[in-house]
Amino acid sequence: MDRFTALADPTRRRIVEMLGMGAMAAGEISARFEMSAPAISQHLKVLKEAGLVSVEVSGQRRIYRLDPGGLDAFEAWVRQVRGFWTAGLDRLERELAKPDDA
C-alpha cells in the first residue's frame, strides 16, 4: 500500500499524529481508540507496510515510532508539488504584469 492510501484513513492519520509526539506501545495506541486491539493492529500493519512507522519488539511489547524515511519521501513529494505551483504562479504573475495592448 502506498503512503497516500495509508494516510487516507482518518484512524491511521490520527495514529501518525500520536506517534509524532513520541514512540508508543501498541497497547497504548489501542487504548486511545474505541475499536478493538486487532483493528488497531491492522491499521499499524498498514502504516508499517507503507513505510510510515517502524516497530521494535521489546519483550512482549511492540513499540511503534514514525519512520523518518517514509516521512522524508512524503515531504519530498510535497516540495515537488509546491514547485509546480510556484513556477505556475510566477508565470501568471509575469503575464499579469505585462502592459495591455488595448
- Cα–Cα distance between 6 and 79 in angstroms, integer? 20
pTM for this one? 0.76
Does domain 3-97 fall under CATH 3.30.365.10? My reply is no
Q: What is the DSSP letter of 65?
A: E
pLDDT of residue 94: 85
Query: In this predicted model, what pLDDT tens digit does every residue of 68-88 receive, in sequence order?
Result: 888 888 788 888 888 777 777
**What average pLDDT score do residues 16-40 get?**
96
Q: For the chain, first and last CA: distance in Å?
A: 55
Query: pLDDT at residue 33 above 70?
Result: yes
Query: In this predicted model, what pLDDT tens digit does every residue of 5-17 receive, in sequence order?
Result: 899 999 999 999 9
Provide, rounded to the nearest whole percent, the portion of the chain with pLDDT above 70: 97
